[in-house]
Structure 1
Amino acid sequence: MSIHILGIRHHGPGSARHVKEYLEKVKPDIVLVEGPPEADNILEWVGKEQLRPPVAILAYQPDAPQKAVFYPFAEFSPEWQAILYARNNNIPVRFMDLPMAHQFELKVQRTPAADPDAAPSVNNSMAPYIPGASIVRRNPVAYLAGAAGYADEEKWWEHMFEYRQDPVDVFNAVAEGMQALRQDLQLPYDREEQLREAHMRKTIRQAEREMYTEIAVICGAWHTPALLNMGKAKDDNELLKGLPKVKVATTWIPWTYNRLSYSSGYGAGINSPGWYEHNWRYPTDDGTRWMSRVARLFRDQQKDISVAHVMEAVRLSTALTSLRGLPKAGLEELNEATLSVLCNGEDILLQLIRDELIVSDKIGEVPTDIPRPPLQTDIEKQQKKLRLPQTADYKDYVLDLRKDTDLERSILLHRLEMLDIKWGHRYGPSGKGTFKEQWRLQWDPGFSIDIIEKGNWGNTVEEATSKYVQHQARTATSLKEVCTLLETAIPAELPAAVAVLVQQVNNLAAATGDVMQLMTVIPGLVQISRYGNVRKTDAALVENIVAGMITRICISLPAACIGIAEDAASELLDLIYNMNDAILILQDDELTKQWQQTLYNIARNDSAAAMLSGYATRLLADHRQLSGNELVRAFSYAMSSATPPPIAAAWLEGFLKGSGTLLLVDNDLWTVVYNWMHQLEENIFKQLLPLLRRTFSGFTKAERRKLGEKAKGGVSGAPGNHHQMMENIDTERALKGIPVVLQMLGVK
C-alpha cells in the first residue's frame, strides 16, 4: 500500500503538468483532492464537454446564502487535472478538506492587509521580501521566494518548479521545503487549520480501510508535512468531535479569469491566468507564439507591427533570459522585450496586453442540466431566449422599446436591477419617456450569491422581483423612497408591486404635511405617466395621486415661501423650477390653473421671499399670464427705489433664473433694470455686485455677450448715453427739416 502526497501550488500550470504525469506513472486506484466533501456528488460532471473551465464550485448555506465560498478551477489547475484523470480512468475521486458544514461556523476571516507582521511590497524583483505570518500560512511560496531574493513569488515558483522535468523530484523538493518552513518558523497554529489537516488525515485513513493500495493525495504545498506525518487516529478523532454543523449545498458556476486573478473567498488568486493558460497549452514555446499573439492583438488595434518586430522581440527576450541565468523566458522578459520593440517604450500599451492576454476576459461554461436554484435557472433561460449571453467583458446594447425583443430585454434588466443583481448599467440615451435605452452588461460570477439570496422571494425573476419590491414598499417610511421604487417598478412591469407601491404612496402623502417633501417626489411621479405611453402601461394608476398631491402643494406652497432664510429659499426655488416642468409635462388644464393661481399668490405677497416672488413673476410671464404693461408695472414695483437694494437684487435673481432672454427682447424691462442700476449709490452697488454676478453667471455665454453689448448702448441700446445724445442735437437746425418731412408725407 502506497500513499503519494503531491504538494502543489493552486493554479500552477507546471504543478498541473507534474500531477498529470505523476498520476499517469503510478496509476493510483483512488484520488483524494483538497476541497469540500459536500461537492463529491457534483464531480461526475467533470470531463463532460459542457463543463468548460474556468468554473468554480459554489458551496453555500441555503438558509443563509451570504455564507458562501468559491472553489475555482482553471484548465491548468492541478486539482482539476487530478479530478479529470480520475474521471477519465473510472477511479474514485473524493474531496478531503474539512466539510464546509463545519467551516462556515468556524471560519476566521484573514486578509494580508490586516496582518501586522506583513512587510510592504517592493518593486525591485531582486529585493528580499519577507511576508508576515498570516501570508506565510496562506501562501508559503511567498516566504520561500522572499528568502531567495524575489519580490514576486510567481516568478520564483515559475523558475524553480514550473520548468522542471521530473515530477518526483519536484514533489520531494516541495515536501522538504514546506517541512523546513514549518519547523523553522514556528508559526501560530490556529484551530481551524488543525481541524482541516486532521480531517484530511481521517479521509486518507478511510481510503486505507477501504483497501485502496495506491492512494494519490493532491493538496496545497503547505499541508504536505502534516499529511506525511499521519500521527494517531485517536488524536484526530478527538479533535474533530462535537463540531458545529450546518446544512450546505453545492453547485457548479461559470468563473472568469478576471475573478481568478485575485483572492475571491478561498484565498488562492493569481496575477496572470491568461499567461498560465498559454504555458499550459504550449509548454515548449520559446516566446515566439506569445509574441505572435501580442502582434495580432496590436494589429487588431490598428498598430503597425511586422514579422521583423516579432523576431526582434523574441531575440531580445532570449538575450535577457541568458543574461539572468534563467532556464526559459518568463513573462517579465517577454514584457520587457515587448515594451522595447513593439511598444517603442510606451508602457501604456502594456495595459492592453495585460487586459487581453496576461489576464484575459475568458469565462467558463456550465451545463444547463446541472442542479441549481430555480431563480438562477429562470435567469439563464431568459438570457438564452433573449440572446443576452453572460460575458466577462463589457458588452453594450442599445434597446428600441418599440421592438418586442428589446422591450423584453429591458424588462428583464430592470427586474434584475431591482433585485440588486447589477448585471446591467444604464447610461447614455436612457432618458425616461423615450423609445431608447442603452445598457452595458458584464457578468460577475459573484452574482451567483445574489441570485441564491434573492431566490427566497420566488422561483422566477418576475415572482422574486415582485415580492421583494412589495416587501420594500411595506417597510419603507420615506415618501421619496417609495416613489423611487414606483418609478423603477413601472419599467420592470410588476403590476402587483405597483399596486402596493401606489397605495403606500397614497398613504404616506396623506400623512405628510411637508410641502417640500411632496414637491420632491412630484417630478418622478410625472415621469411615470410618461412611461405609461412608452411601455403601454396604465399611467392612470398614479395620475389621481399626482393630482391630489399637486392640489395640496398649491394650497400650502404660498405659506411655505414666507419668512425663510436665503438657503431655504434657494432650495425651494429649485423645487418650484422642477414642479413647473412637471405641470407643463402633464398638460392638465385644471392643474395648470391651480398652479398659476399659486404663482400669483406668491408673486403678489410682499412677505414672500424676494427670490421666490421674482421667480413666480417670471413663471407667470412664461405662462403668458403676465405681459405688457402689467409685467412692467410688477417689475418696476419690485425694482423701485423704495425697495431695499438687497431685496430688489434677490427679486431680480429669481426673475432672471436660468435665462436673461427677457431683458434682450423686452426694452421696457431693460429700461427698468437699467434705471435701477443707474440710481444705485456706489457703495450699495459694490455690496450687491457679488449677488448680481451670481445672477448673470447662470446665463449662456452668448446671452452675457449680448447683454454686455446692450448695456453699452444705455437705455435705448444704441451706442453712447441717451441723455448725452439728446444734448448734442442742434434744435434750431432740426426744426428747419420739419416742413420738408411733412411735405414728403403729404401733410399740409
Structure 2
Amino acid sequence: MAVHILGIRHHGPGSARNVKAFLEEIQPDIVLVEGPPEADAILQWATHDELKLPVAILAYQPDNPQQSVFYPFAEFSPEWQAIIYARKKNIHVRFMDLPIGHQFALEQETKNEALKNDAPVSLNNNAETIDEEKAIEEIKIDPISYLALAAGYDDGEKWWEQMFEYRNDNDQVFDAVAEAMQVLREAFPKKEDRIEKLREAHMRKTIRQAEKEMFQNIAVICGAWHAPALLNMPKQKDDNELLKGLPKAKVDCTWILWTYNRLSFYCGYGAGIASPGWYDHIWKYPKDDGTRWMAKVAKLLRKKQMDTSVANVIEAVRLAESLASLRHLSKAGLEELNEATLSVLCNGETILLQLIQDELIVGNRIGVVPADIPKPPLQNDIEKIQKRLRLPPTADFKDYILDLRKENDLERSIFLHRLQLLEIKWGNKYAVSGKGTFKEQWRLQWDPAFSIDIIEKGTWGNTVEEAATKFVSEKAVKANALTEVCALLENTIPAEMPVAIEVLINRVNNLAAAAGDVIQLMEVIPNLVTVNRYGNVRKTDAELVLGIINSMIIRICISLPAACTAVDETASQHLLELFYKMNDAINVLQQMEITLQWKQTLSSIVKNKNTSPIIAGYATRLLTDHKLLKGEELVHVFYYAMSAATPPATAAAWLEGFLKGSGTILLIDNDLWSVVDNWVKELDDNVFNEILPLLRRTFSGFTNAERRKLGEKVKKSDSVNTGIIAQQLESNFDFERAKQGIPVVMQLLGYRQQ
C-alpha cells in the first residue's frame, strides 16, 4: 500500500504538468484532492462536454447564501488535472479538506462569541504575542518568499516560476517541495490556528479512510504547505480528538462560471495569481521561447491600430532572451518579456503595457457551465432569458444601445431593469445623447459573485419577474420616506411589473396624503412626472400616477406662497432649485388646469412683498416666460425691484432669481437692459464691491456666448451714450447765456468781480 503526497502550488502550470505526469506514471486507484467534501457529488460534471474552464465550485448555506466560498479551477490548476485524470480513468476521486459545513459553523460561533464579548475573538487557541502571530501568518501565507530569499531572489513568485514552472527536468520535484516545506515548518515551530490544524487532521482522516477501504495506490494532491503534515502523521486518536464534536451547517454546492480576472489576486482571491493569461499560455506552450507570446502581443497592438512589424517582434524576443541570460535564468520569464515589450513594441509608453496586462497577462476569458447542471430556479430563469435575448455574460464589458420601439430591445430593457431592482447589478445604465426617450444605453459586465446574489434573491421567487415583484413590494411596505418610494416607483415603471407598481402607487398616495411639508412634495414631483413620461413611452397605464401628481401639485400651489416667506439664503437657494425642476415638470405634463394653477401661484408669490427676493425674481421670470408679464408692466416690476429704494443686496438677489439659467432676455429687451445698466451705474463703489460676489454668481450661470454678447452690449451702450452727450453739448449749448450766469456763481462762491 503506497501513499503519494504531491505538494503543489494552486493554479501553477508547472505543478499541473508535474501532477499529470506523476499520475500517469504511478497509475493510482484513488485520487484525493484538497477541496470541500460536500462537492464530491458534483464532480461527475467535470468531464461534461459543455463545461469550459475557468469554472468554480460554489459552496453556500441555503438559508444564508451570503455565507459562501468559491473554489476556482483553470485548465492549469493541478487539482483540476488530478480530477480530470481520475474521471477519464474511471477511478475514485474525492475531496479531503475539512467540510465547509464545519468551517461555516465555526466561523459563525466565532462571530457570535465576538458579539457576546464585544471584542474580536480568534480561532487561534494559542497565546502568542501579536508580533509572533504576524510572523506566523506571513510564513503560512507565503512560505516561498523565504526560500526565494535564501536563493538570492527578492521575489518569491519569480523564484518559484524559475524553479518549477519553467524547468524541463521534474524528477523528484514533489520530494523537494515536501522537504523544503518541512524545513520551513521546523524553522517556525509555532502552532498554527485552529482551522489549519482541523483541516490537516481531516485530510489525514480521509487518507486513513482510503487505506481502510483497501486502496493500494493513493495519490494525494494538496497545497505545498500541508505536505509535511500529511507525510508525518500523528496518532489517529489525536486527530479524532481534534475533530470530535465540531458544529456543522447545511451546505449546498454547484458549478458556476468563473473569469481569469477573478482568478487573479487583484480581485482579493487569497490563492490568486498575478498572471492567469500568461499561465494559460505557458500551460499550452511550455517550450515557447517567447516568440508565440510576442506574436500575441503584436496581434493585440495591431488590433488597437498600432503599427507593429515582424522585425520589432524578433528584436523584442532577442532582447528578452538577452535579459534572461544576463540574469542567469534558464529562459525568459514574464518580467523579461514585459521589459522587452515596453522598450521595443510600446516605445516606452506604459499605458500600452497596461493594455497588454489587462488583455493578455490577466485576460478576460470566462467559463461556460452546462445548462443541465442542477442550479437554483432563479438562476435557470436568468440564463434562459439571457440566451433568448442574446445577452451572453462576458468577463469584459460590452455596450448595448437599446431602441425601445423594437420588441427585442424593449424586452432586454425590462429584463435589465428587473435585475437592477433585485440589486443584481449586471448592467449599468448611461445617458444617451439626443432628446428622444426611446433609447437606453447599457454597459454589461458579468461578475461570478452575482451567483451569490442570485441564490439569495431566489428566496423571493423562482423567476425574475416574480422575485423582483415580491422584493420591490416588500421594500415599498417598509419604506417610510416619500422620496424613497417615488424613486423606487421611477425604477419599477421601466421594469413593467404591474403588481409592484400598484403597491408602490398606493404607498405613494398614502404617504403623500400624510405629508405636510411642501418642500418634500416638490422634491418628489419631478420623479413622478418622469414615471408618467416613461409610462407613455412604454405603453403602460400611468393614469394612477397622473392622478397622484395632480393632487400633489394642487396642495403645493396652495401652500407654496407662504413657504416662500421668511426663509434664509441657504433655504432660498434650495427652494430655487426646486422651483426650477417643478416648472420643468409642469411643462412636461402639459395639463391645462395644472398650468393655470401654477401661473396663479407664481402671481401670488410675486405680489407678496415678504417673499424671498431670489424666489420673487425667479417667479417674475417664469411669469415673463408664460407671457403674463410683458412690455411696460414688466419694466415697471423690474424697475421697482431694482430701484434705489431697494437695498442693493436685495436687488442683487432678485436679479439672480430673474436671470436664473439664462441672460438672453437682457439681450433682446432693451428696456430691461437699461434698467439694469442704470442700476449698476448708480451703485456706490463700496456697495458695488459688497454685492459683486452675488453678481458674479448670477452671471456664472450664463453660457460663454451670452456673457460675451452682454459684454459687447455694455461697451456699445457706453460709447453710444458718450456720443449722444457730446453731440447734445455741441449742438444745443448756448455760450452767451452761460456767460451771464458766471458773475452770479462767482458771487455765490464769495468772489467779487475785479
TM-score (norm 2): 0.92
User: What is the aligned counterpart of 1:358 among 346, 357, 361?
Assistant: 361
**Which residue of the partner structure matches residue 52 of structure 2?**
52
User: What is the aligned counterpart of 1:472 among 452, 470, 475?
Assistant: 475
CA distance in 1, matches of 2:408, 2:525: 32
CA distance in 2, matches of 1:724, 1:255: 84
1:413 correspondence with 2:416: yes
**Which residue of the partner structure matches residue 261 of structure 1?**
264
What amino acid is the match of 1:282? Y
1:346 correspondence with 2:365: no
Q: Specify whether residues 336 and 682 from structure 1 end up closer, same or farther in structure 2 by C-alpha distance, changes over 3 A only.
A: closer
What amino acid is the match of 2:10? H
Secondary structure, aligned partner of 2:582: helix
Counterparts of 1:194-209 in structure 2, within 5 Å, are 194-209=197-212
Secondary structure, aligned partner of 1:194: helix
What amino acid is the match of 2:141? R
CA shift for structure 1 position 476:
0.7
Preserved CA contact (<8 Å) 1:433 1:534: no
Preserved CA contact (<8 Å) 1:433 1:530: no
Q: Specify whether residues 170 and 257 from structure 1 end up closer, same or farther in structure 2 by C-alpha distance, changes over 3 A only.
A: same
Preserved CA contact (<8 Å) 2:660 2:698: yes
**Which residue of the partner structure matches residue 493 of structure 1?**
496
CA distance in 2, matches of 1:370, 1:264: 27
CA shift for structure 1 position 541:
2.1
CA distance in 1, matches of 2:168, 2:685: 92
CA distance in 1, matches of 2:492, 2:604: 37
**Which residue of the partner structure matches residue 404 of structure 1?**
407
Secondary structure, aligned partner of 1:239: helix
Preserved CA contact (<8 Å) 2:266 2:274: no
User: What is the aligned counterpart of 1:599 among 597, 602, 615?
Assistant: 602
- What CA deviation, in whole Å up to 9, does each residue of 1:42-96 have, x standing for no partner? 0001122211111000000000000000000000000000000000000000000
Q: Specify whether residues 156 and 86 from structure 1 end up closer, same or farther in structure 2 by C-alpha distance, changes over 3 A only.
A: same
Range that drifts further, 700-709 or 74-83? 700-709
Preserved CA contact (<8 Å) 1:70 1:265: no
CA distance in 2, matches of 1:559, 1:580: 18
CA shift for structure 1 position 145:
2.4
User: What is the aligned counterpart of 2:585 among 582, 585, 589?
Assistant: 582
CA shift for structure 1 position 527:
0.7
1:729 correspondence with 2:726: no
CA distance in 2, matches of 1:539, 1:53: 47
What amino acid is the match of 1:8? I
Q: Specify whether residues 458 and 729 from structure 1 end up closer, same or farther in structure 2 by C-alpha distance, changes over 3 A only.
A: farther
**Which residue of the partner structure matches residue 506 of structure 2?**
503
- What CA deviation, in whole Å up to 9, does each residue of 1:261-292 have, x standing for no partner? 11767620000011101111111111111111
**Which residue of the partner structure matches residue 114 of structure 2?**
none
What amino acid is the match of 1:540? E
Range that drifts further, 720-729 or 494-503? 720-729
**Which residue of the partner structure matches residue 98 of structure 2?**
98
Preserved CA contact (<8 Å) 2:136 2:192: no
Secondary structure, aligned partner of 1:195: helix
Q: Specify whether residues 435 and 163 from structure 1 end up closer, same or farther in structure 2 by C-alpha distance, changes over 3 A only.
A: same
Range that drifts further, 639-648 or 268-277? 639-648
CA shift for structure 1 position 146:
3.5
Counterparts of 1:654-669 in structure 2, within 5 Å, are 654-669=657-672
Range that drifts further, 362-371 or 135-144? 135-144
CA shift for structure 1 position 99:
0.3
**Which residue of the partner structure matches residue 512 of structure 1?**
515
CA distance in 1, matches of 2:160, 2:11: 12
**Cα RMSD (Å):** 1.9
Secondary structure, aligned partner of 1:451: helix
CA distance in 2, matches of 1:266, 1:298: 29
CA shift for structure 1 position 161:
1.3
CA distance in 1, matches of 2:269, 2:91: 27
1:554 correspondence with 2:557: yes
Preserved CA contact (<8 Å) 1:71 1:266: no
Q: Specify whether residues 571 and 728 from structure 1 end up closer, same or farther in structure 2 by C-alpha distance, changes over 3 A only.
A: farther
CA shift for structure 1 position 365:
0.7
**Which residue of the partner structure matches residue 542 of structure 1?**
545
Secondary structure, aligned partner of 2:717: coil
What amino acid is the match of 2:632? N
Range that drifts further, 44-53 or 429-438? 429-438
CA distance in 1, matches of 2:435, 2:640: 41
What amino acid is the match of 1:473? A
Preserved CA contact (<8 Å) 1:397 1:438: yes
User: What is the aligned counterpart of 1:237 among 235, 240, 243?
Assistant: 240
CA distance in 2, matches of 1:292, 1:116: 50
User: What is the aligned counterpart of 2:229 among 226, 229, 245?
Assistant: 226
CA shift for structure 1 position 167:
4.0
Task: Give the share of equivalent positions with the same residue, in percent.
Answer: 67
Preserved CA contact (<8 Å) 1:58 1:70: yes
CA shift for structure 1 position 238:
1.3
1:182 correspondence with 2:180: no
**Which residue of the partner structure matches residue 625 of structure 1?**
628
**Which residue of the partner structure matches residue 152 of structure 1?**
155
Secondary structure, aligned partner of 2:699: helix
1:372 correspondence with 2:375: yes
CA shift for structure 1 position 234:
1.2
CA distance in 2, matches of 1:389, 1:415: 17
Secondary structure, aligned partner of 1:320: helix
**Which residue of the partner structure matches residue 739 of structure 2?**
none
Secondary structure, aligned partner of 1:490: helix
Q: Specify whether residues 163 and 465 from structure 1 end up closer, same or farther in structure 2 by C-alpha distance, changes over 3 A only.
A: same
**Which residue of the partner structure matches residue 123 of structure 1?**
none
**Which residue of the partner structure matches residue 735 of structure 1?**
none
User: What is the aligned counterpart of 2:450 among 439, 447, 452?
Assistant: 447
**Which residue of the partner structure matches residue 22 of structure 1?**
22
Q: Specify whether residues 163 and 687 from structure 1 end up closer, same or farther in structure 2 by C-alpha distance, changes over 3 A only.
A: closer
CA shift for structure 1 position 223:
0.4
Range that drifts further, 441-450 or 672-681? 672-681
Secondary structure, aligned partner of 1:85: helix
What amino acid is the match of 1:728? E
What amino acid is the match of 2:519? M
- What CA deviation, in whole Å up to 9, does each residue of 1:297-347 have, x standing for no partner? 111122222222122211111112121111111111111121222222222
Q: Specify whether residues 67 and 315 from structure 1 end up closer, same or farther in structure 2 by C-alpha distance, changes over 3 A only.
A: same
CA distance in 2, matches of 1:431, 1:16: 54
Count of matched residue pairs = 716
1:427 correspondence with 2:449: no
What amino acid is the match of 1:4? H
1:286 correspondence with 2:303: no
Q: Specify whether residues 202 and 471 from structure 1 end up closer, same or farther in structure 2 by C-alpha distance, changes over 3 A only.
A: same
- What CA deviation, in whole Å up to 9, does each residue of 1:126-158 have, x standing for no partner? xxxxx9432321332233223434333221111
Q: Specify whether residues 542 and 231 from structure 1 end up closer, same or farther in structure 2 by C-alpha distance, changes over 3 A only.
A: same
CA shift for structure 1 position 731:
7.9
**Which residue of the partner structure matches residue 609 of structure 1?**
612
CA shift for structure 1 position 428:
3.4
**Which residue of the partner structure matches residue 720 of structure 1?**
722
1:709 correspondence with 2:712: yes
CA distance in 2, matches of 1:348, 1:638: 58
Range that drifts further, 52-61 or 638-647? 638-647
Q: Specify whether residues 263 and 178 from structure 1 end up closer, same or farther in structure 2 by C-alpha distance, changes over 3 A only.
A: farther
**Which residue of the partner structure matches residue 125 of structure 1?**
none
What amino acid is the match of 2:720? A
Preserved CA contact (<8 Å) 2:7 2:226: yes
Range that drifts further, 339-348 or 45-54? 339-348
What amino acid is the match of 1:14? G
Q: Specify whether residues 30 and 579 from structure 1 end up closer, same or farther in structure 2 by C-alpha distance, changes over 3 A only.
A: same
1:89 correspondence with 2:84: no
CA distance in 2, matches of 1:552, 1:729: 63
**Which residue of the partner structure matches residue 523 of structure 1?**
526
What amino acid is the match of 1:720? T
What amino acid is the match of 2:44? E
Q: Specify whether residues 675 and 311 from structure 1 end up closer, same or farther in structure 2 by C-alpha distance, changes over 3 A only.
A: closer
CA distance in 2, matches of 1:164, 1:92: 31
Preserved CA contact (<8 Å) 1:101 1:245: yes
CA distance in 2, matches of 1:88, 1:690: 80
CA distance in 2, matches of 1:369, 1:671: 79
1:459 correspondence with 2:462: yes
Preserved CA contact (<8 Å) 2:613 2:650: yes
- What CA deviation, in whole Å up to 9, does each residue of 1:576-627 have, x standing for no partner? 0100001111111111111111101111111111111111111000011111
- What CA deviation, in whole Å up to 9, does each residue of 1:666-709 have, x standing for no partner? 12212222222232222222222221122122111221222222
Secondary structure, aligned partner of 1:718: helix
1:69 correspondence with 2:69: yes
